[in-house]
Structure formats: C-alpha cells, structure tokens
Amino acid sequence: MLGEELRADLVRNLEESLEGKNYERSLTHYFSIQQLGWLSLIEDLSLENGDALNRENLIRAIVRRDIEQDRGVRGLSYLRYLDTLSALGDEELELFYQSAIEEMKYPIARRVLQEQTSRGLDSQEEPVQQSLKEESRFSHGQLIRGTVTVWVNRGIKVQGGVGRPDRVIGSGFYVDRRGYILTNYHVISSEVDPKYEGYSRLYVRPSENPDQRIPARVIGFDPVFDVALLKVERSTDTVLSFSSGEDQAPGDRIYAIGSPGGLENSITSGIVSAVKRRFLQLGDVIQVDVPINQGNSGGPLLDEEGNLIGIVFAGIEQFEGVNFAVPVEWLAKVFPKLYERGEIEHPYLGISLQQLDEDSLEISYVVPGSPAYKLGLEAGEELVSLAGEKVSSITEAQRLLLAYLPGTVLSLTTRESDGDERTSYIAVAKRPETPLKAAVDLGHEENLFAPLFGMQVERVKDSLFRTSFQVTKVYRGGVADESGMSVNDPFSVQKWDFLPEDNVLLVQLRIKKRKAGFLETGVQLGAYISTPNIL
C-alpha cells in the first residue's frame, strides 16, 4: 500500500513541477523514479516541446528557460552537467552560443563553438570565431576591473572601554554583467546570520572608483563552501568565468586579486602548493603559496591564462604562505543554486566514512535520527555504491551526492562484515549546519570517538567519577593513530571540553598504551566537529 502511495506521489509531483517549469525539482522526482525502477510509470510524459523526459533534456530545458527569463548566466552554468553537447539541436546550439557571447561567458562559448564546428556549421562570423579561438579572455590587468572590495560596516565595537569602528573587509568579483558578485560567506555573515544581533550594512567599492560605496544585498549564501552571491544595482563590462575545470597541479603558476588590508586592486602571484586538501565539511580545496592577507578573502584565484580556478577563502596566520582556495569544481556545483535566494540546502545521509584502503570505505558512525539511521545502517558496514555508481573515496562519494537535491530517493549498496551485500533505498535529507553538533549539545560526546578521533571503542566499566573504555579499532591517519593508540588499549575519560568559538571538541584521557609499555599517561585529543568525512 505504501509503495502505491509513493509511486502516485512521485508521479504527481513530477507532473506538477513540469507544468510549473520547475525543472530542477523535476530532476529530483525523475531521479527518484529512475532509482526505484519505476520509469515505466512516466513513459507517457514529455517536456513542453515534445522532448523525451530524461536527465539531459531536463538540463537543456533549464538552460532554455533561464535564457528566456534573462537569467542566462545561471542557465548556462548547467551546461557543465552535460558530458557532451551532441544531443543539442543546431538551433539550440546557436541560442546557447549567442547567449554565452552576450553574457561574456567565453569558455562556454568556445565549447559550443567546438560542437558547431564539428558539425560543419558556419553560422558565426569569421572574426568572432577567430577571437574566441585565440583572444576571448581578459588579461590579468583587465580582470582587476571585474573585482570589488566588499565592505561591511558593523558599527562601533567597545574594547577596554574604548570604542572603535567595527569593519569587515573582503574581496569579490563579478560573475554576471547584471551586478552579481561572488565573495566569501564569512565576509558577509553578519548580514544573514540569525545569531548576529548587531548593526550591519553591506557595501562594495568598485575597482575603478575605490572611494565610492555602492549598497549591496545578499542573494544566496552557503556556509559549507564559504561562498555568497551579492547583488548591486549596476552593470559591468568585465565578468569572470569559471574555467573548464582541468585539475591544477603542484607548481602551477597562479594569481590572486583582492584588497589585502583594504588596498584595492592588488594582484599577487605564486604557485599551487598542493591539491585535494580535506579542509571543508564537503569537497576538497587547493593549498596555495601566494601572498594572502586579511581583505583577500572572497577574491578570485586565476591561472596563467586568466581563467578563474578558485575563490580564496582562508589562510593560517601562524604559517606564512599556507593559504587555501575553493576550486571551481566545487563552486560550479553550488553556483546556480545561489540565485535561488537564501541559504543553499545540501544533501545528507548521516554517515561518517573512513578510508580503509584505496578503494574501500567503511561506515564508522551513523548519526541518530538521520536517513541512514532510519534505514538501519550500522558502523562496520562498507559503502559500495551510491545511486548505482561505485564509490571508492570520501571525496568521490560527496561529489556524487552533491548532484542531488534533498528529497531525492537514491539506491545505496553496502557490504556487511560477512561479505554479503544489500541494496536499499534512502531518501536524501537536508544537511544540518554541523551534523555532529547535536551529540555535543545532548552530552553524548562519547559517541564521537569514531567520526572525530578515528577509533572504535567499547565501554568496559562505569564508576561514579569516570567511565572506562577499551580501544577496539584504530583507523589509519586519524587522531588516535597519530597519537600512538592501539587496539586493546584501556583508557578512562577524565573530561570533555567543547570550544564553541573554535568548533573544537577536546577530551582528556588516562590511557595505558601498548606502544608505551602500558604505562599510564595523560593524553588530550582534539578535533573539529565540522569533520570532512560526513556524507
């Protein structure tokens, strides 16, 4: 009976979203029906123009709709979701090409032009074609015109009985000629954070006239990837476009534009230090050795050809030259959603993963109340595939999950300790701001040994003053492993301490380490509760 109701609801919701041209939501319902093997239920449905109902055609419909509604930049960004443009019609290619030229999205225009050329279409004038092939990018100096200083006035701060101006200064850059600007969330957080109760006014200072202050407002924001989309009531003739997404390599020359210390129009150069650093809750980041200071946050990171490859978001003050940027691969996944106003909703299953070897992921913890918890998943199971695709790394699993909106039903295959595999269906939920924070708030910190410190434990004794445990498993590369802990090490918890400003959980232990001859010693372990291994 429940299955019949679910089928009817999914089909009805799909029909309603198609009728309302909400093709993003249509994709959610389509994916759910596809994953459940019920495509026969919608074989009579089609798009408004008669196209068959499938993923590729729904994405094409999003692009066409947004171009028609003068939201070309948002719509064209969805073309990244298509592996090939071969399914597009000739007239459709021409529409997308002309829109990309108008929006100054030259990487997209070049991609469309390549497809047109492969078909022998010569609809574009020769000078335009030649310009796209050779020169359709701005120089680094020209790209300065596409950057702004983001300036947040938060009134007066009183310290030691003395009042001083409270200002937050960052950087940003135009991504849409209509006045849309990308910057970091943490720069403008006081504008949208309900926990902030003080005064806050947002402005931008254009690069060509730094003395001018233009009022701005926040359109969309994402604390997870530390990005926000702003809007000013002015147009621009210089916009930055995401690169085609080729991987960066250590040693590559890079450039950053921003306002370090409020010094507008500053450009600095350096190299990529490392890639695929696990630094955020989702995805990975680029580590860069390029001069970055307060005020650079939110500025663009460029390659030698002037392509946008990331957005600068953080540095480690104690270590000069250790800075980070979110790569375009992850920015592109959230960018179109920023236009929808408000905070972006990310998908969430509620499992903590540990990398056992190159192609094996173990579930180390299941968050109570999460979709995975309700499904009955347990720690110790191995995650084999998600949405029908095999996963072998945490980043790969997160990349795959981010393609779906909350509410989507996905297949999930796990392998139990005896080698048996089971495939279930799970409804994706909205990701909490910090999934593990609830355990801390409820005083259940001892449940977090696995996801935060990388070790499985079992309770062996309770007393009035302390609880004793024994280590049953240590995950390679985790905090426990780096602290020299081993299986069968007995320990007791002396104190838990949560530092809310730093988002750090500390635990003080008395432990008898096998590697130290079982001599009892005191150890303090610490970890960010915004751990990057939660799916």
To which residue do tokens 């239920």 refer? Answer: 41
To which residue do tokens 């000629």 refer? Answer: 177
Residue 342 in 3-state DSSP?
strand
Q: Record the tokens describing residue 64, joined without a space.
A: 């066409």
To which residue do tokens 């997209």 refer? Answer: 108
The yes-or-no answer to whether 347-430 and 437-528 have a common fold is yes
Residue 61: how many CB atoms within 10 A of its CB? Answer: 22
- Are the C-beta atoms of residues 240 and 308 closer than 8 Å to each other? yes
The CATH T-level fold of domain 437-528 is Pdz3 Domain (2.30.42)
Quick one: how far is CA 415 from the chain centroid? 28
What's the DSSP call for residue 52? B
Please name which of 284, 297, 342, 358 lies closest in space to residue 323, comparing C-alpha atoms: 297
Cα angle at 328 between 323 and 331, to 5 degrees? 100
Q: Which helix (H) or strand (E) holds 11?
A: helix 2-19
- At 135 the pLDDT is 46
- 72-84 per-residue burial string, b: 16 or more CB within 10 A, e: under 16: bbbbbbbbbbbee
Cross-strand bridge partners of residue 533: none
- At 317 the pLDDT is 61
How far, CA to CA in Å, does 420 sit from each of 306, 382, 383, 415, 484?
51, 10, 12, 6, 33
At 342, which amino acid appears? G
Superfamily of structural domain 347-430: PDZ domain (2.30.42.10)
To which residue do tokens 């604390």 refer? Answer: 223
Residues of the chain with pLDDT under 50: 1, 127, 130, 134-135
Burial class (CB in 10 A: 0-12, 13-18, 19+), 184: buried
Q: What is the pLDDT of residues 350-380, one digit of tens each?
A: 999 999 887 889 999 999 999 999 999 999 9
The CATH number of 138-344 is: 2.40.10.120
- Are the C-beta atoms of residues 124 and 113 closer than 8 Å to each other? yes
Q: Within 13 A of 366's CA, how many CA atoms are on the CB side?
A: 17
Cα distance between residue 74 and residue 339, in whole Å: 7
- At 424 the pLDDT is 92
Domain map (residue ranges) of the chain: 2-137, 138-344, 347-430, 437-528
- At 103 the pLDDT is 92
Q: Record the tokens describing residue 264, joined without a space.
A: 């507008």
Pairing of strands 214-222, 342-343: parallel
